[in-house]
Structure 1
Amino acid sequence: METWLLIFLSLSLCAIVNLLLNKKHKKQLPPGPPAVPIFGNLLWFRRSFTDLEPLLRDLHARYGPIVTLRIGSRPSIFISDRRLAHKALVEHGAAFADRPAPLPLTRFLTCNQHNITSAPYGSLWRLLRRNLMSETLHSSRVKLFAPARQWVLRILTAKLHAHASEKSGAAVMESFQFAMFCLLVLMCFGEKLDEESIRAIEAALRDLLLYSRQLRIFNFAPVISKHLFRNRWNKAVEMQRRLKEIFLPLIRARLEQKLKKKETEERFVHSYVDSLLDVELPEEGKRKLTEDEINVLCSEFLNAGTDTTSTALQWIMAELVKHQEVQAKLLEEIEKVVDKEAEEVKEEDLQRMPYNKAVVMEGLRRHPPAHFVLPHAVTEEMTIEGYTIPKDAMVNFLVAEIGWDEEVWEDPLEFKPERFLEGGAGEGVDITGTREIKMMPFGVGRRICPGLGLAMLHLEYFVANLVREFEWKSADGKEVDLAEKVEFTVVMKNPLRARVIPRRNSCN
């Protein structure tokens, strides 16, 4: 009897120890600095969240390629290794395709997550993304907007010609942003609006985007904070109302044109709004999108396509000012492909310009507009490299660090487009990361930026035409400053000022 009792107790003890060990192993988060409940990591008492990127470099050097930070009570996991990123985002793509639980502010700004960026991984996200990809970003649709790109190129070159005589240089970023915004507005609403109308949309969107930083307080006890900060809340509501008042006439005009088309078969330019007016939500009784939901999707389309592209364009042109030999080599390629009398570098010409593409790729590798992707979350608890990724954790990937990996790129902080030509480390690089990840400026996996193809086209098209039209030199012989700062994207701390000297006028 005593023997059986001893055996029973021994087995029970083993089972308890095994359970505890398994539980401990199962819940082992990636390593990170000391933390306390509610407040998070102790280092936040002496470091600012704006120092996140240099802080993560230090932590990855100390703890390895996957670390945990606690910003408040929620764990945030950061991955800096390209192989781990591929394992998570491609090999286990579906599991890592969710978004973290939304904060109250996110719900307010996105009409309860009715946009592609914030929607959880599921049927709504698939429907909205499929609509964007098939109806607006499909190659056949993108070709329809070739005249729009020509129109915007004329706007941009005219603005730059107006500054051609300034030896102190032109501040070109504003012109880049306005040109990209003109193009995206036309693609969104199908209308060539005048400059005043475009500026009004641009200002309303940017004001709300910048002001949203002051709204983070409403993530904490929103019922109370709305009363304590009533003026701040009312201003945000007023900003949304202002944007809606601008968008609604444009949306309703497209609806009226669609109805006319059905009656009279009149043809008109396709727009993103046209596709949104046709969307039905099958899981909600096949209802149409509300006007508020269409507003949110239009805002997403304009914000996502403007700042990222104009930021990347500024970085690339800054490098061409800094590296005159690269600019000269690019011009030589352009002049071999494009007839001297041609009005522009056409989109079909770009296919015969490998160096132009290499310049764009190197610009995106060296200066990705976003140094992190938008936060991911796992659909269920996962294990990677022996560490637990909890369902409530935010998971992020260091885009810039992955593109600067010394294991892949020699002198990674140098600007060398030749890397992407035959024999270079970037020859045939898969920017989608499907086979392997060497750089990921558009993200990777299920949540990869749907506008990847459009962004590459716009960058190649505008870089080639701007170099053909103008000689780009530093202002008053000053060195280009490549210091960075974080805004909506990672921009130049000291925006590019460049002397833009017309080439073709001097030839005629």
Structure 2
Amino acid sequence: MEIWLILLLFFCLCAAYKSFLNLSSHGKAKAKQSKLSLPPGPLKLPIIGNLLWLYNSFSELEQILHCLRQKYGPIITLHIGSRPTIFITTHSLAHQALVENGVAFADRPPATASDRIITTNQHNINSANYGPLWRVLRRNLTSEMLHPSRVKSFSHARKWVLQLLKVRFKSHVESGEPVLVVDHFQYAMFCLLVFMCFGEKLDEKVIREVEDVERTLLVNFRLFNILGFFPLLGKIFFRKRWQLLLDVRQRQDSVIIPLIRARRERKEKNLENTDEFFVSYVDTMFNLQLPEEGGRKLTEQEMVSLCSEFLNAGTDTTSTALQWIMANLVKNQQIQERLYSEIEGVLGIDEEIKEEDLAKMPYLKAVVLEGLRRHPPGHFVLPHAVKEDVMLDGHVIPKNAMVNFAVSEIGRDPEVWKDPMEFKPERFLSNEGEMFDITGSREIKMMPFGAGRRICPGLGLAVLHLEYFVANLIRDFKWAAVEGIDIDLSEKLEFTVVMKNPLQAHISPRVKSADQLLI
């Protein structure tokens, strides 16, 4: 009995000593970080942090951050759940983090249970941690699909989609009725991305089925995000949302996996040697190997996640940006006419716009860049994370903290841009002919595609699509406001930041008859 008492006393003393050491080291660390603490922010509640305060205001997060910036400075801490989230609101700090300390800020936060379902355990480019898997997936996309020669091979697909848009606009031209452009733009861009993904012009019924399941995922993404805040209790209190997530994912697999299998079968029959075969994104996945996982190949579910990422990233952002640009061209007729004059000056009267002609149109590029600056489709990037404590602007960014960047705030900073809320493409025209660096490698003035190692790999493709469709839509049609309806540039948060009141416009042909537009 005495032995047990001695052992018990010994363990109590050990526990007390360990507690003392922990308190001592904590006190020293606290003293050490008294000058190097977390970036400032509003008071938080235990466990839930600032979540209750933000719950009804996620759509107004930009306004909240703008106010907090006036009080706390350019780098702010909010506690969303138990984990701190750092918001960076200035171009100089964004450059320090993403470019000068690119490796440190290149990771992603730990995935939530709902994220792992959507991304097949983080097997896509956006969600993968910074490491071998991310490098393999990103290199495959950039070298196999986004290489200039491969992008050029899809020029016929862009021309086909442009014709789809013109056919849809023909009835509005003939009737004089205004056109609500948002659905037309989204469908056209989706058709283009589906062709690039699967290499074929699928039936409209199939395209609509794929579009519907992807749209369901996007429409409900905020509902699914809530599941990540309280992972232990979420499955109890949000049972219906969990079931909806599982149902959407199951339906996504049931719609896209047959397309993957059909493409694999066609490839195995050596039909890639025919004139009608185009290398698609799915084709590049079949022999892809994952070195950190024993060199295994991708599963069908992982291919679904990569296809979904490709379709959504290339559709919603581009169609949203296109609508914002066209809205500003309707609102500012003098800009529209200057752009039309430039296009006509480069082309002959009856010539079609070739993609190589776009490089000869600096004002077109300026219009697109100004649209991306003034109306970035995403007002925040996907969250970054750091793997270890990092110093920034005299503060500690703690290990595993989420870090985000106020894209819209940076692109509308009055200290960088004169009259930042005005739509002025001329600001991108350099007298010296120097091209604006949208990547932010030298200096970040705007970052609609992010910056640094996690910059959107589809940047070049997105700009090409915007320039191509804006040029053709202005070349073929004159766009005017509907009488009695002002162009409203108010914003609304969906998957991207869209027009609160979608663009309606009267379109009229710039050639003699509407039939000529369809030749």
Q: Tell me if 1:471 matches 2:486.
A: no
Cα displacement string for residues 429-464 of structure 1 (whole angstroms, at most 9, x for unaligned residues): 210000001111100000000100000000000000
Equivalent residue number for residue 324 of structure 1? 333
For residues 55 and 161 of structure 2, the distance between their equivalents in structure 1, rounded to whole angstroms, comes to 47
Q: What's the CA shift string for 1:85-118, capped at 9, x where partnerless?
A: 0000000001000111111111111110000011
Question: 2:192: which partner in 1?
Answer: 183
Distance 1:237 1:363 in 2: 37
Matched, 1:361 2:361: no
- Say whether residues 1:237 and 2:255 are aligned partners: no
Paired with 1:456 and 1:192, the residues of 2 have a C-alpha distance of 23
Counterpart-to-counterpart distance in 2, 1:172 and 1:284: 45
Note if 1:428 corresponds to 2:435: yes
CA offset digits 1:245-275 (Å, max 9, x no partner):
221221112212222229x954521100000
Superposed displacement of residue 63, structure 1: 1.1
Q: Is contact 1:99-1:119 (8 Å) kept?
A: yes
CA distance in 2 between counterparts of 1:17 and 1:99 reads 30
**CA offsets 1:339-371 (integer angstroms, 9 cap, x no match):** 2112x3110110110111110011111111111
How many angstroms apart in 1 are the aligned matches of 2:284 and 2:51? 49
Whole-Å separation in 1 of the counterparts to 2:455 and 2:420 = 23
State the Cα deviation string for residues 196-236 of structure 1 (Å, max 9, x = none).
21111111111122233333453356565435554443333
CA shift for structure 1 position 467: 0.2
Select between 49-58 and 179-188 the one with higher mean Cα deviation.
49-58
| 8 A contact 1:188–1:298 mirrored in 2 | yes
- Structure 1: segments with no counterpart, 5+ residues: 1-14
User: Residue 34 of structure 2: SS of its match in structure 1?
Assistant: helix
Aligned residue for 2:384, secondary structure, equals: coil
**Corresponding residue of 2:312:** 303
Flag the 1:227–1:29 CA change in 2: closer, same or farther, 3 A: closer
Secondary structure at 1:58 match in 2? helix
Aligned positions, number? 490
Q: Which moved more, 1:264-273 or 1:432-441?
A: 264-273
Partner Cα distance (2:73, 2:29) in 1? 28
Say whether 1:378 aligns with 2:386.
yes
| Change beyond 3 A, Cα 1:315–1:166 | farther
Deviation at 1:35, TM superposition (A): 1.4
AA aligned opposite 2:387: T
Q: Residues of 1 paired with 2:74 and 2:415: CA distance?
A: 14
Show the counterpart of 2:6. none
Does the aligned pair in 1 maintain the 2:221–2:495 contact within 8 Å?
no
- How far, CA to CA, are the matches of 2:54 and 2:445 in structure 1? 35
Partner of 1:410: 418
Q: Residue 51 of structure 2 contacts residue 80 of structure 2 at CA under 8 Å; is this kept in 1?
A: no
The reply to whether residue 31 of structure 1 matches residue 16 of structure 2 is: no
Pairwise CA distance, 1:19 = 6.0
Given candidates 437, 450, 454, the residue that maps to 1:443 is: 450
RMSD: 2.2
CA shift digits 1:60-99 (9 cap, x unpaired): 1111111111112111111111011000000000100011
CA distance in 2, matches of 1:446, 1:225: 33
Pairing partner for 1:22 from 25, 32, 44: 32
Amino acid corresponding to residue 71 of structure 1 in structure 2: I
Q: Does 1:315 align with 2:313?
A: no
Deviates more, 1:47-56 or 1:85-94: 47-56
Residues 42/134 of structure 1: CA separation in 2 closer, same or farther (3 Å cut) = closer
Q: Show the counterpart of 1:50.
A: 59
Paired letter, 1:419: R
Shift in CA distance, 419/194, structure 1 to aligned 2, threshold 3 Å: same
Task: Name stretches of at least 5 consecutive residues in structure 2 with no aligned partner.
Answer: 1-24
Aligned to 2:510: 503
What code does the residue aligned with 1:218 have?
Answer: L
Q: Partner of 2:213 in structure 1?
A: 204
Equivalent of residue 274 in structure 1, options 253, 277, 283: 283
Give the counterpart of 2:228 among 211, 219, 222: 219
Corresponding residue of 1:3: none
Q: Within the alignment, does 1:335 sit opposite 2:344 as a pair?
A: yes
1:351, 1:159 → 2: CA distance?
28
Which residue is equivalent to 2:14? none
Distance 1:410 1:36, change over 3 A: same
Conserved 8 A contact 2:51-2:79: no
Q: What is the DSSP-based 3-state SS (H/G/I as helix, E as strand, rest coil) of the residue aligned with 1:202?
A: helix
**8 Å Cα contact 1:168-1:476 kept in structure 2:** no
The one-letter code matched in structure 1 to 2:252 is: L
Output the CA distance in 1 between the equivalents of 2:65 and 2:232: 34
3-state secondary structure, aligned to 1:163: helix
The separation in 2 between residues aligned to 1:242 and 1:109, in whole angstroms, is 12
Q: Secondary structure of the equivalent of 2:173? A: coil
Contact 1:34 1:42 in 2 (8 A): no
Please give the secondary structure, in 2, of the residue aligned with 1:48.
helix
Q: Is the 1:168–1:475 Cα contact (8 Å) retained in structure 2?
A: no
Q: 1:23 to 1:404 in 2, by over 3 A?
A: closer
Task: Give the Cα–Cα distance (whole angstroms) in 2 for the partners of residues 124 and 286 of structure 1.
Answer: 11
> Using a 3 Å threshold, how does the CA distance of structure 1 residues 233 and 72 change in structure 2: closer, same or farther?
closer
Relative to structure 1, is the Cα distance of residues 499 and 300 closer, same or farther in structure 2, using a 3 angstrom cutoff?
same
Give 1:81's aligned residue.
Answer: 90
**Residue 506 of structure 1: CA displacement?**
4.8
Displacement of 1:380 after TM fit? 1.4
- Which of 69, 72, 96 aligns to 1:63? It is 72
